[in-house]
Amino acid sequence: MHAVVATIIRDQDNPARHPFVTGCSATVANFKDSACFTPPTPAGQEVVIETVTFSGSGDRSNVVLAPQLVILSAASAAQIFLNPMFDNGFGQPSFSNFSGVQSLRLYADPGVGIACEGVTAALNPGGLSVSCTISGYFVTLP
């Protein structure tokens, strides 16, 4: 009898996968939504998005921020709604403050841009700020 020994294969050992991180931020006044745009996915690369970290601030009366990712291609836009974020109270009574992180699995083809958007229920006279960091890995396409 021969013993069978399992070999552990780790993702970071896969030469086709490379870490990917991008982000953006934006601030607008007197709107219910604010969006920022990341650079397009490099040619010949497919991005696998695994984690989105989102933060924002807005008018003190807006206690919920609805974060979204929008995968933008030349032909279409796919809108992905993330879990709502609630005011954490750190900015009160001056402004609402939001932060959150979400694990997911999304794919972005070569040349595709990613937008991060935050939406509140009412206008934000003092400004609505959104910031996101997107991480995962990219795979070199054949």
Q: Tokens at residue 23, please? A: 């982000």
Please identify which residue in the block is written with the tokens 């490379």: 18
**What dihedral do alpha carbons 122, 123, 128, 134 form, nearest 10°?**
50
Give per-residue pLDDT as tens, 113-126.
999 999 999 999 99
- CA 22, CA 52: separation in Å to the nearest integer? 10
- CA 2, CA 119: separation in Å to the nearest integer? 61
Mean pLDDT, residues 15-30 taken together: 89
Mean pLDDT, residues 123-136 taken together: 96
Mean pLDDT, residues 83-91 taken together: 96
Do 108 and 49 form a contact (C-beta atoms < 8 A)? yes
Q: What is the pLDDT of residue 17?
A: 77
Strands 33-37 and 113-119 come out as antiparallel
Give the confidence band of 55 by pLDDT, cuts at 50, 70, 90.
very high
Domain 11-140 in CATH 2.30.110? The answer is: no
Give the confidence band of 74 by pLDDT, cuts at 50, 70, 90.
confident
Do 35 and 115 form a contact (C-beta atoms < 8 A)? yes
Q: Is 85's pLDDT higher than 90?
A: yes
